[in-house]
Amino acid sequence: MDISEINDKKNRVYEFIKSDEYKPMSRRQIAQFMQVPKQEKSDFNDVIDLLSIEGYIKIDSKGKISNNRKSKLTGTISTTMKGVSFVRLDDSDEEIFISKDNVLDALNGDKVSVKIFDEVTGKHREGRVTEVVSRARDNFVCTIYKADGLTVAIPDDRRIQVCFFMYDSFSEDVMEKNKVVVKYVGDDVNPSDKTKLLRYIFSKKVMAISEEDVDRIDKSKFYVGEVTEVIGHADDPGVDILSIVKKYNISEEFPKEVLDKAEKTPRKVEKKDIKGRKDYRDLPTVTIDGEEAKDLDDAITIEKKKNHFTLGVHIADVSHYVTENSPLDKEALKRGTSIYLTDRVIPMIPHRLSNGICSLNAGEDRLTLSCVMDIDFKGKLLSYDISESVINVDRRMSYNQVHKIVEENDPELNEAYKELVPDFQNMYELAAILRNKRFKEGSIDFDLPESKITLDEEGVPVDVSLYERNDSHKLIEEFMLQANRTVAEHFFWQEIPFLYRIHEEPEETKISSFLSMCLKFGVKVSPKNGSLMPKELQKILNKLTDKPGEKLLNMLALRSMSKARYSTKCVGHYGLSMEYYCHFTSPIRRYPDLQIHRIIKESLNGKLNSKRLSHYEEILKDVAERTSDRERVAIDCEREVDDMKKAEYMSKFIGEKYTGEITSLTSFGIYVTLPNSIEGMINLAELKDDYYIFDEANYVVVGKRLGKEYSVGDELEIEVLAASKYTGNIDFGIPSDEDKDGEKPE
């Protein structure tokens, strides 16, 4: 075919694909619809390939072809803290670049319509927002500033780069530097006030607004706001964390009707509720948790027999007290999950239940759902029984106590718990068997350190350290994984509506990027059929143990993963390398666990008639989407609080020098992690004495004049230059040789 013929055929095929009536089809189906002659099939396939390469069409993993250049699309806009915006399209994972001039009045998180330009900006197509379809939020956590009769509010979320004028009488009584919740009212700002504000703020003379805030505010975006709630003064203890909680629209308080319902629940298990349940109260039963845990939702029994272990995983029957569509249930679904912050827990259900009748407290009868499993000495599941039950916990144990009993043979603790010592030893033995079997099957172990932040009574961080993890933590993890897997497989084969915890295969592009980085560290793996099996990924991580690049590649591997989520479809869990998996073991703090408990109980009691099956078919997809979303909100909130408190902690050590490990390199900075897990960045543009560049091919930073070279895994002495509680960022520098020994290098 000559050029004109190729273009003619491309146009005809593309006109068909972009028509309003077109639905995604395979090549064969398109050829049939367009009546492509047999002798032209080869040319037709070439045309399809060209349209794909040029970005006009998209071919999914099943070979279905769709238009990739719709002129108007919808998606969610995301704005970075630097003011760069992208719209992630609803019908694909593509992100469209939006310049500041083309954002319209859209704010971070809004649903928008976007028109795509033909030009491509870097790696992204570019477009402009044509309409804000719906606002992500109407309320914003802000800080109040005042001057010369003006009251303005600046959003704490640095991705919301606007300024609110406050005209309501309530705001007149609000003090400067108060943290408040502001409701968006409109954009009818008095022009003279706008002029005055521009003069005050952007000359940086009158108002006490930080320079960081001044620089990020869009000088064209001024709205009218109204104070709906005063959180407290910015410097008051706890207000910083509470402001972040409010920012994510998380409610600490329960509605009155929810608390009233909680108060009416019994304080003790009633005899009538035990009827028909399996009675495990005579078995030696323990809970093993952190010292400070109060919501205990899992307990363990174990017995070692001639050819196998009998492991009992007993989970609090929260659904007995939180009944479907009750005020307690509606509020639990709204929250989706409990949230664990440095100074508080925001529970999914009221403490009256979570720490009371639903918590498996020692010495108290408790209603449970039990998964009792016979497992042989190679880790194979021989048989299991899922039932409604009643237990009575003998001892409330901590991870550290069990660790000291089994691993350190502590004589005092061994004597105090002598009747349970054989059980703890059996638990360790079985957990090791299950763990080894899981890794042989390809389960991935992202063993990344977790931070423990200690606050004083005023909420000021006094220490940041690593959580101590030992084998006592791992044994509980293994037992919960085994129970979750067993329950998921059982109900998958029952072919009834259910909620699964799924983790899909990572995208090929992300895996390719990860493997390219592995090559830089001398680790080579060839993915099969373009995909990387979990077992192969674990082999890579094993090769990196205690070697330069270990932390970086663990993090990159984790970032290349798809996000785990809840779904009504059982597509497996990539990271765990499990075909069947669900969340069954934490109904006090996760709504999906509570939801499937109801299904399990109705199934066990023969109540899943056609009406109930239709009911679950109808609601579960929405439950999966809601709880996946609330989980992401909780993670973001927890992470932001941690970053803020780490930065606040390091602000006390400006000028101090420490030795850390280089964990990542970029064209703009060197990331260094200290032994306590705190990470900071060395800005290459601000380094003293030399001009540094990032050599991407060899993944090193090189000093052009002094010849110094920095690689991932290197130990490096750093100086703390700055730490912003406001942004959560920590800046490091490299002390000059003069700083180290009083002499400049020759």
CATH number at residue 709: 2.40.50.140
Task: Assess whether pLDDT exceeds 80 at residue 665.
Answer: yes
- On whether residue 641 sits in a domain, the answer given is no
DSSP state of 418: T
Residue 227's CB is within 10 A of a number of other CB atoms, namely 23
Task: Look at residue 741 in the predicted model and tell me its pLDDT.
Answer: 46
Same domain, 274 and 389: yes
Asked whether residue 220 is domain-assigned, the answer is yes
User: Are the C-beta atoms of residues 231 and 240 closer than 8 Å to each other?
Assistant: no
Residue 267: count of CB within 10 angstroms of its CB: 8
129 and 144 share a domain? no
542 and 393 assigned to the same domain: no
pLDDT at 212: 67
- On whether residue 595 sits in a domain, the answer given is no
Task: Answer whether residue 150 is part of any domain.
Answer: yes
The answer to whether position 402 is within a domain reads: yes
Q: Are residues 483 and 348 in the same domain?
A: yes
Residue 309 to residue 437: CA distance in whole angstroms: 15
The H-assigned helical ranges of 582-678 are: 591-604, 610-650
Q: Are 494 and 603 in contact (CB under 8 A)?
A: yes
* Consecutive H or E run containing 155: strand 150-155
Confidence grade of residue 118 (pLDDT, cut at 50, 70, 90): low
Q: Are residues 316 and 422 in the same domain?
A: yes
Per-residue model confidence (pLDDT) at position 713: 86
Query: Final residue of a domain: which of 67, 87, 116?
Result: 67
Position with higher pLDDT, 147 vs 87: 87
Mean pLDDT of 705-709: 78
User: At 326, is the pLDDT very low, low, confident or very high (cuts 50, 70, 90)?
Assistant: very high
Residue 182, Cα to own-chain centre: how many angstroms? 27
Percentage of residues of the chain with pLDDT beyond 70: 92
Output Rg (C-alpha) for the chain, integer angstroms.
29
Asked if residue 297 and residue 369 are part of one domain, the reply reads yes
Q: Express each pLDDT in 533-574 by its tens digit.
A: 788 888 777 777 777 777 777 778 887 788 899 999 999 999
Res 699: pLDDT: 83
What was the pLDDT predicted at 5? 77
pLDDT of amino acid 170: 66
Average pLDDT over residues 45-70: 81
Point out the least confidently predicted range of 20-29, 195-204, 254-263, 726-735: 195-204
Q: What is the pLDDT of residue 642?
A: 95
- For residues 492 and 409, membership in a common domain is answered with yes
Cα first-last separation, the chain = 68
Q: Are residues 145 and 121 in the same domain?
A: no
pLDDT digits (tens, 9 = 90+) for 603-616: 999 999 999 999 99
Cα(716)–Cα(735) distance, integer angstroms: 10
Under the banding of pLDDT at 50, 70 and 90, the label for residue 70 is: low
Q: Indicate the range of 182-196, 235-249, 643-657 predicted with least confidence.
A: 182-196
Rounded Cα distance between 24 and 189, Å, is 47
Does one domain contain both 182 and 280? no
Mean confidence (pLDDT) of the chain? 88
Of 258-262, 462-466, 506-510, 603-607, minimum mean pLDDT range: 506-510
Let me know whether 487 and 513 are in one domain: no
Q: Which are the contacts of 250, defined by CB distance < 8 A and separation ≥ 6?
A: 335, 339, 346, 633, 634, 637
Supply the pLDDT for residue 147: 76
Is residue 80 classed exposed, middle or buried when 0-12, 13-18 and 19+ CB atoms within 10 A define those classes? Answer: exposed
Mean pLDDT of all residues in 681-687? 87
Claim to verify: residue 266 and residue 352 sit in the same structural domain: yes
Residue position matching structure tokens 């899992």 = 298
53, amino acid identity: I
Structural domain count of the chain: 6
What's the token pair of residue 549?
């690049």
Residues 432, 379: Cα–Cα separation, whole Å: 9
Phi, psi of 480 (to 5 degrees): -70, -40
Q: End of a domain among 451, 476, 496? A: 496
Most confident of 83-97, 181-195, 260-274: 260-274
Q: Is the pLDDT of residue 144 over 80?
A: yes
Of the two residues 137 and 425, the one the predictor is more confident about is: 425
Residue 21 buriedness (CB in 10 A; 0-12 / 13-18 / 19+): exposed
Cα separation, 364 vs 269, in Å, equals 8
Structure tokens at 683: 């800005």
* Cα 17 to Cα 56: distance, rounded to the nearest angstrom: 10
Provide the pLDDT for residue 744. 33
409 in a structural domain: yes
If asked whether residues 54 and 191 sit together in one domain, one would say no
Residue 607 domain flag? no
Residue 708 has pLDDT above 70, yes or no: yes
Q: Contact, 268 vs 365, CB < 8 A?
A: yes
- Note down the domain range covering 335: 256-496
Instruction: Dump pLDDT digits (tens) for 33-47.
Output: 888 888 888 888 888
Using the Cα atoms of residue 483, residue 486, residue 492 and residue 494 in order, give the sign of their dihedral: negative
Q: What is the mean pLDDT of residues 486-515?
A: 90
How far apart CA 101 and CA 246 sit, in angstroms, is: 30
Instruction: Give the per-residue pLDDT at 369.
Output: 98
For residue 147, is it within any domain?
yes
Does the pLDDT of residue 311 top 90, yes or no? yes
Cβ contact 586:358 at 8 Å: no
CA dist 18 and 647 (Å) reads 51
- Sign of torsion over alpha carbons 36, 37, 38, 41: negative
Phi-psi region of 714 (alpha: psi -120 to 50; beta: other; left: phi over 0): beta
DSSP code of residue 144: E
Which of the listed residues 99, 134, 169 is the one where a domain comes to its end?
134
Structure tokens at 492: 């998958």
Tokens of 113: 């319509």
For residues 233 and 531, the model is more confident at 233
What's the confidence (pLDDT) of residue 483?
Answer: 98
Secondary structure element (H or E) that encloses residue 181, with its range: strand 178-186
pLDDT at 499 (0 to 100):
98
Q: Which residues contact 98 (CB under 8 A, 6 or more apart)?
A: 77, 85, 86, 87, 114, 126, 127, 128, 129
Among residues of the chain, what percentage have pLDDT more than 90? 52
